[in-house]
Copies of this chain bind each other. A is one copy, B any other.
Amino acid sequence: MNKELKTRLQDVAKHSGVSMMTVSRVLNKNGMVSDKTRAKVQVAVKELNYRPNVSARRLASSKSFFLGLLYDNPSTSYVSQFLLGSLKFCRASGYHLVVDEADNDLAKTLKSVKELINITQVDGLILLPPVCDIPEVLDTLTTANIPFVRVSPNSQLHISPYVCMDDYQAAFEITEQLINQGHINIAHIIGHPDVGASRLRYQGFLDALRSNKISVPPEYIEQGYFTYKSGLSAAQKLLSLENRPSAIFASNDDMAAASISAAHMNNIQVPSALSVVGFDDTSLASTVWPHISTVRQPIQEMAKMAVELLVSGKFDDPTSTKKSDLRHVLDFEIIQRESSAELR
């Protein structure tokens, strides 16, 4: 390490004519500093392009500058996108990320959580779904008084800040897009019954149809489990109906991809004879052919928001926070690709 290149706190102090202590206070935004002094210091920080040494900071302070990320989501692409996003924003904030996979065995998971708290001594934890809804994990964290942020949680929404997107609204909009393309016979493959988002997406679908005065025959609704296989058999049933739907909205991309395969098997052209839309915008959506029209989840932005909430320290004292501040909804995006088109 070229120590001589690095500007240190001392350099900033000298440059702005104050003590190191004062610079430290400005940097950490906590101490009482006069506006004038603060301004002076901030100028010096900018001019010298000063970046605090995380190791020194960690060594001296009571904070660890570690954030934990706990996941047990089977979707590699979801986890990895989130991971990459948090890594980036942790780095920007001078934090490091410790990643742990929750085990199927609850006892093991709890052990990992306790290790993160006691050994790694994380300053905060991010929980991805579905581990973010395990009561025992939440209890452990609450008891240990460790701040945590949950992503798309499904229960106990009042106990921690969380980030999510509006699954209902997204489903509503992508359904409405099909309607605007002239589709009336629209089927839906519901997602896994245990996942809260499945219900929200289904409801958004129903309400979009209702608000356009379109009725759904019961045989247009199939229960899926977010897997390709479940999507395949659901789509097979839908496509063998006498009054075949002209469009299928699957509750995730895997099942949408399966619907396209099912169409192929039945010699039904996509999108000319059948439109298919999915949800999530995983890599699968742009892997299969035709590429799948879908809803993009703002995973990167969710990661950024989660890190920011933890870094801000706003929630370090959980009791002081108003419920209204807990919910952070991020924008989704409807992505039109080649698997859906105007009805003709």
Name the B residues within 8 Å of A257 (CB-CB). Answer: 287-288
Interface of A is mostly: helix
Whether A110 is near chain B, meaning CB under 8 Å from some CB there, is no
Whether A80 is near chain B, meaning CB under 8 Å from some CB there, is yes
CB A61 to nearest CB in B, in angstroms, measures 8
In chain A, residues 42-63, which have Cβ atoms closer than 8 Å to a Cβ of chain B? 51, 53-56, 58-59, 62-63
Task: Given A5-B118, A265-B264, A288-B228, answer yes or no on A99-B77 (Cβ-Cβ < 8 Å).
Answer: no
Name the B residues within 8 Å of A264 (CB-CB). Answer: 261, 264-265
Residue contact A228 to B289, C-beta cutoff 8 Å:
yes
Instruction: Name the one of B1, B76, B265 contacting A267, with C-beta atoms under 8 angstroms.
Output: B265
Residue of B nearest to A74 (CB): B283
| Distance of A53 Cα from B119 Cα, bound (Å) | 11
Name the B residues within 8 Å of A81 (CB-CB). Answer: 76, 80
Residue contact A1 to B287, C-beta cutoff 8 Å:
no
CB A165 to nearest CB in B, in angstroms, measures 20
- Which of A83-91, A173-181, A201-209, A304-312 lies at the binding interface? A83-91
Task: Given A77-B76, A99-B87, A261-B264, answer yes or no on A1-B62 (Cβ-Cβ < 8 Å).
Answer: yes
| Distance of A105 Cα from B135 Cα, bound (Å) | 47
In chain A, residues 302-323, which have Cβ atoms closer than 8 Å to a Cβ of chain B? none
Q: Kindly supply a per-residue 1/0 record for chain A positions 64-101, scoring 1 wherever the CB is within 8 Å of any chain B CB and 0 otherwise.
A: 10000000000111011101100110010000101101
Name the residue in A54, A77, A264 with the highest tally of chain B Cβ atoms < 10 Å from its Cβ: A264
Task: Given A229-B289, A261-B261, answer yes or no on A59-B53 (Cβ-Cβ < 8 Å).
Answer: yes
Instruction: Name the one of B2, B77, B288 contacting A283, with C-beta atoms under 8 angstroms.
Output: B77
Whether A254 is near chain B, meaning CB under 8 Å from some CB there, is yes
19 CB < 8 A contacts A-B = A2-B118, A51-B119, A53-B59, A55-B55, A55-B56, A55-B59, A76-B76, A76-B81, A77-B283, A80-B80, A84-B101, A87-B99, A91-B98, A96-B96, A227-B287, A228-B287, A258-B289, A264-B265, A284-B287
Question: Lowest 10 CB-CB distances: which A-B pairs, in order?
Answer: A80-B80, A55-B58, A55-B55, A264-B265, A55-B59, A229-B289, A1-B121, A228-B287, A76-B77, A76-B283
